A = this chain, B = another copy of it.
C-alpha cells in the first residue's frame, strides 16, 4: 500500500517544524530535503532514485520512508519548500510610481533572472522547467501561485504601453511574446550552446544585455501594434 497521503508509518507523523526552513538544521529530515532538490532537478522525478538522494544526504535509505512516507511525499515537500523560497528570493518588482517602460524592463529582468540564475539554487529553476514539460498534479497550483501574478502584472504594464485600446487576447499574445523570449534562453540553452560559439556567448549573453534587448523588442512592438482585423473564421 503506497501512501504519501499523510499516513506515513505510524510513529513519526511529520514533525511540526516551527522554524520554517531546513536551511541550517542538520538532522536527518533536513539533510534529506537539502539533498533531494538537486537530485530531482538533475534526473527528474522518476529518474531520481531514493538511494542517490540518501547517499548524497549521507543517510539510510529507509529514512525517506520514515520521514516523508514515500518518494512522492518527499517530492511534494521539496516543491513546497521551493515555492516559498523563491517567492522570497525573487519578489515581483514594485511597479507603482514608475514609468511603464521601466516596469517592463524590471519585469523582463526578473523573468530572466529567474531563468538564468546559475548560483547555488539553479536546481530550482531546473525543477520548475521539468514540471512544465512533465506536469504532475502539483503543476496547476504552481502556475496559479507562481506564474499568474507576474503574468497579470505584465498584462497591465503592456496595457499602459500600447497606444490604442486592444482586446484581451492581443495583450495576452504580447505578454506571451515577452515571456517566450525570456524563457528561450533557458529552454533553448543547449541549442544556443551549439549554435553560438562560446567566445561570443560569454560576451553578449548575460542577463543585462539580454533583458535590454527583449525590452527594446517589446517596446517597439507596443508602439506599432494596432487592433488586428478580425481573424478569419476558423472551422474545426
User: Footprint of B on A, CB under 8 Å?
Assistant: 44, 46-47, 129-130, 132-135, 139-140, 143-144, 147-148, 151, 168-170, 172-174, 176-177, 179-185, 187-188, 190-192, 194-196, 200, 203-204, 206, 208-210, 212-214, 216-221, 223-225, 228, 231-232, 234
Contacts and interface: CB of A to CB of B under 8 A. Distances in A.
Contact of A224 (B135, B172, B220): B220
B168 A177 contact: no
Contacts of A176: 181, 184-185, 188, 192
A215 B144 CA distance: 29
Nearest to A151: B195
A221 B208 CA distance: 19
A119 to B, nearest CB: 12
Nearest to A231: B209
A224 B225 CA distance: 13
A177 B129 contact: no
The 6 closest A-B pairs by CB, nearest first: A180-B184, A220-B224, A169-B204, A217-B221, A143-B194, A180-B181
A168 B203 CA distance: 12
A191 B130 contact: no
7 contacts: A133-B133, A176-B188, A177-B184, A183-B187, A204-B231, A208-B231, A216-B221
A176 B188 CA distance: 9
A196 B22 CA distance: 36
Contacts of A180: 180-185, 188
